[in-house]
């Protein structure tokens, strides 16, 4: 299917592209030009039911297939993703706006989760105890849950779905993906490649849509588990509604990631790292650094180093050679970000670099905001309290490492935090005392590799388990313990008392 020429995207149900039942459609826009690329169906409850029925029908045979067979299909899928990586990156860049290099990097990070999932025969191994009582053995299993759903954000249309479905299907589940309606085409390409890799029909399904589709997923009795990544208010709603309806839910929310720079840090290295972490992907990363915390007398030098580098960032369409930062996702997102910059000025922060009037020749209708830098930000200001999710870096000045840690620990978000220092003592103290899910030491965006788990604390994650790594395997399976004896006569029949194995 050549998706790029389609006027209206289909859904993917039961191993094939099908037209949606809904009559509601949304627009998919190229953020670099403002042009409408194609239309996306906004699924209704009937569409969700059709996907759930296909997944329910596929589940028993898929669950019964040996994990090694499932792993081999994923190995083929991994190779296909690698083969098509350049084209896939082009699609991500076209609908999202990020640069081609960045899009390719995000696909690589997703492929790493597939690679982790191909180890599923090993990852699913249980425990076995011989003779827990006389001639009684015990062992534990991890079994799939059934039909699982993933609801994902616009900012990583390839990687975030890949945090979820490779592990879910490797564990023997069927999966329904509801990608962001802003850049959903990548999900259909992954469905096609999964089919080409040999995945049985119905094991992976894609439904497009907005809150109506999400409400139908949360209400559907055949969907047993929901993984969500997106903003905090929606994450909270999904966790509360999904668990109320008896589902297992992990819901990752928004972020406000701080990077603390101590006076002993290598300033050039720290400033370079912060620029990439703040403005890469136009700041639309849940692990973007959005707050630089300058400790003590490093502040003036840090501001100058950041300003000097921020001015050199090349802004342009994602597919133009040399672009380091593309547009933001929609016109509404640009207006919201510009509104927050206005508010920062009103509330008295010092605007060091102003990106509100970014002008990209030939792309006047694109949704561009230039790199923006604030200094003298205080915690009560809107630009500190709210997740801006755009290319805006704010500096907060504090006197000590303790004050920096206190600032981070009292922020409602708790995804990631980083420290720049040459002191092992300070680093060890920071990594132990800071209350967030992911910590970087001289690493600005500490996104754990696929074989570790990814997730935040407080308002950055609702639920108990993080995504991918072993938490992913735990989330998509449930435990079972078997206690067995095989007597060859009736002499060992259980009595009426509480059995003990002594
Ligand atoms: P979003 O919350 O608007 O949308 C996420 C998903 O929820 C989409 O599929 C969307 O269709 C659906 N949705 C939106 N509004 C809804 C509603 N009212 N009811 C039900 N469903 C709804 O998020 P976004 O703008 O696509 O993505 C950006 C956000 O995602 C940021 O807050 C960012 O921090 C967060 N994010 C977090 C992580 C993480 O790992 N914690 C990773 C990536 C993005």
Q: Which CATH class is domain 8-253+460-481?
A: alpha beta
Would the pLDDT of 6 be above 70? no
- Residues in CB range of 498: below 8 A, 6 or more apart: none
Looking at residue 496, its pLDDT comes to 74
Would the pLDDT of 493 be above 90? no
Residue 230 CA, ligand 1 centroid: distance in Å: 3
Q: Is 206 in the pocket of ligand 1 (CB under 6 A)?
A: no
Q: Is 415 in the pocket of ligand 1 (CB under 6 A)?
A: yes
Q: Could you tell me which residues are beta bridge partners of residue 228?
A: 151, 251
Degrees (nearest 5) of the Cα angle 307, 313, 316?
A: 145
Would the pLDDT of 494 be above 90? no
Portion of the chain with pLDDT greater than 90, in percent = 95
Looking at residue 174, its pLDDT comes to 99
Residue 39 CA, ligand 1 centroid: distance in Å: 20
CATH 3.40.309.10 domain residues, the chain: 257-441
Q: Is 460 in the pocket of ligand 1 (CB under 6 A)?
A: yes
Q: What is the mean pLDDT of residues 472-498?
A: 86
* DSSP conformation letters of 288-356: -EEEEEEEGGGHHHHHHHHHHHHTT--B--TTSTT-SB---S-HHHHHHHHHHHHHHHHTT-EEEE--T
The 10s digit of each residue's pLDDT in 244-285 is: 999 999 999 999 999 999 999 999 999 999 999 999 999 999
Can you say how many angstroms the Cα of residue 359 is from the centroid of all Cα atoms in its chain?
Answer: 31
Tally of CB atoms within 10 A around 224 = 18
Six-digit token pair at 480?
Answer: 């079972």
The 10s digit of each residue's pLDDT in 226-248 is: 999 999 999 999 999 999 999 99
Q: What is the mean pLDDT of residues 415-426?
A: 98
CATH 3.40.605.10 domain residues, the chain: 8-253+460-481
> At 499, is the pLDDT very low, low, confident or very high (cuts 50, 70, 90)?
confident
Would the pLDDT of 502 be above 60? no
The 10s digit of each residue's pLDDT in 333-353 is: 999 999 999 999 999 999 999
The 10s digit of each residue's pLDDT in 151-206 is: 999 999 999 999 999 999 999 999 999 999 999 999 999 999 999 999 999 999 99
Return the DSSP state at 203.
Answer: S
Return the DSSP state at 198.
Answer: T
| CA nearest neighbour of 148 among 58, 66, 236 | 58
Task: Tell the residue nearest (CA) to atom 22 of ligand 1.
Answer: 211
- Give the active site residues: 286
Residue 231 CA, ligand 1 centroid: distance in Å: 4
Question: Atom of ligand 1 at shortest distance to CA of 181?
Answer: 11
Q: Is 212 in the pocket of ligand 1 (CB under 6 A)?
A: no
Strands 289-295 and 416-420: unpaired
The 10s digit of each residue's pLDDT in 377-408 is: 999 999 999 999 999 999 999 999 999 999 99
Tally of CB atoms within 10 A around 477 = 21
Would the pLDDT of 56 be above 80? yes
Can you say how many angstroms the Cα of residue 43 is from the centroid of all Cα atoms in its chain?
Answer: 22
Helix (H, G, I), strand (E, B) or coil at 398: strand
Would the pLDDT of 135 be above 70? yes
> At 489, is the pLDDT very low, low, confident or very high (cuts 50, 70, 90)?
confident
Q: What is the mean pLDDT of residues 488-492?
A: 69
Mutate to test the pocket of ligand 1, among 153, 181, 385, 453 (most ligand atoms within 8 A of CB): 153
Return the DSSP state at 130.
Answer: E
CA dist 148 and 177 (Å) reads 9
Residue 180 CA, ligand 1 centroid: distance in Å: 8
Contact call for residues 367 and 334 (beta carbons, < 8 A): yes
Q: Is 166 in the pocket of ligand 1 (CB under 6 A)?
A: no
Q: Does domain 257-441 have CATH number 3.40.309.10?
A: yes
């Amino acid at each position: 299917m050549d998706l790029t020429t389609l006027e209206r995207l289909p859904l993917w149900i039961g191993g094939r592209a099908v037209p949606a039942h809904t009559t509601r459609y949304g627009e998919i826009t190229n953020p670099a030009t403002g042009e409408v690329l194609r239309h996306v169906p906004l699924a209704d409850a009937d569409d969700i039911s059709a996907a759930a029925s296909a997944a329910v029908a596929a589940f028993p045979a898929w669950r019964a297939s040996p994990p090694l067979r499932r792993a081999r299909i994923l190995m083929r899928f991994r190779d296909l993703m690698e083969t098509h990586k350049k084209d896939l990156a082009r699609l991500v860049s076209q609908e999202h706006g990020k640069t081609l290099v960045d899009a390719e990097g995000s696909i690589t990070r997703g492929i790493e989760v597939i690679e982790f999932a191909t180890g599923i025969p090993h990852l699913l191994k249980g425990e076995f105890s011989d003779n827990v009582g006389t001639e009684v053995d015990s062992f534990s299993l991890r079994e799939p849950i059934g039909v699982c759903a993933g609801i994902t954000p616009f900012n990583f249309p390839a990687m975030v779905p890949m945090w979820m479905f490779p592990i879910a299907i490797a564990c023997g589940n069927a999966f329904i993906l509801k990608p962001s309606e802003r850049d959903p085409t990548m999900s259909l390409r992954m469905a096609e490649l999964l089919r080409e890799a040999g995945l049985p029909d119905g094991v992976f399904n894609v439904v497009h849509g907005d809150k109506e589709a999400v409400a139908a997923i949360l209400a559907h009795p055949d969907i047993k588990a929901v993984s969500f990544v997106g903003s905090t208010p929606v994450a909270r709603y999904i966790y509360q509604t999904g668990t109320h309806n008896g589902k297992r839910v992990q819901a990752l929310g928004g972020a406000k990631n701080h990077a603390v720079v101590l006076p002993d840090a290598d300033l050039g290295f720290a400033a370079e790292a912060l620029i990439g972490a703040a403005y890469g992907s136009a700041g639309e990363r849940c692990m973007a650094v959005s707050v630089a915390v300058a400790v003590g007398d490093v502040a003036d030098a840090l501001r100058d180093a950041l300003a000097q580098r921020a001015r050199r960032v090349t802004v342009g369409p994602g597919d133009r050679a040399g672009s380091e930062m593309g547009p933001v996702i929609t016109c509404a997102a640009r207006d919201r970000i510009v509104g927050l910059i206005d508010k920062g000025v009103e509330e008295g922060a010092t605007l060091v670099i102003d990106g509100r009037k970014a002008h990209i020749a030939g792309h006047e209708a694109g949704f561009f905001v230039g790199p923006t830098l604030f200094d003298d930000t205080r915690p009560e200001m809107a630009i500190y309290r709210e997740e801006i999710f755009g290319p805006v870096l704010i500096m907060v000045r504090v006197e000590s490492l303790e004050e920096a840690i206190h600032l981070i620990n009292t922020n409602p978000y708790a995804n990631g935090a980083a420290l720049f220092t040459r002191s092992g003592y300070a680093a060890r103290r920071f990594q132990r005392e800071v209350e967030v899910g992911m910590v970087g030491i001289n690493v600005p965006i500490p996104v754990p590799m696929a074989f570790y788990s990814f997730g935040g604390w407080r308002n950055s994650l609702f639920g108990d388990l993080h995504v991918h790594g072993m938490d992913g395997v735990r989330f998509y399976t449930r435990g079972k313990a078997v206690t067995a004896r095989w007597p060859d006569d009736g002499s060992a029949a259980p009595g009426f008392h509480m059995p003990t194995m002594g």
